[in-house]
Amino acid sequence: MCRTFGAEMANFSDKLMDMLVAALSDQGLHQSVKPSILSTFGDIAMAIGPVYTKYLQVVIHILKQASEATVDKNDYEMLDYFNELREGILEAYSGIVQGLKGEDTAS
């Protein structure tokens, strides 16, 4: 969706970001969805570019919290989830960097 709308995604980004952040906090949401939400943060950043800076503080905080998660190494199902979570975190960071590259910070 982000790639299809591109920069026009900025028109919807406030509401979408609010919904994604709220979904991450929802205890009823199945954990398998959370890595995809994290990855979506990067997709949005790539679509809207420098406009994404207004979300950076919140998103970086969320990614940091997610990266600090620990798991019982004997629980193989949780290990799989943990690996998916880390992959989502890396995809988010990668998308954010790509989306913000070339941003003019001098202005």
pLDDT at 11: 85
Question: Residue type for 57, please?
Answer: Q
Q: Which of 106, 1, 105 is nearest to 53 (CA)?
A: 105
What are 23-79's pLDDT values in tens digits?
999 999 999 999 999 999 999 999 999 999 999 999 999 999 999 988 888 999 999
Average of per-residue pLDDT across 94-105: 82
pLDDT at 76: 92
pLDDT at 102: 60
* Cβ within 8 Å of residue 94, ≥6 positions away: 42
DSSP-derived letter for residue 55 is G
Q: List the structure tokens of 28.
A: 């009823």
Residue 66 CA, chain-centre distance (Å), reads 10
Distance (Å, rounded) from C-alpha 21 to C-alpha 7?
Answer: 21
Cα Rg for the chain, rounded, in angstroms?
15
What confidence score (pLDDT) does residue 73 get? 86
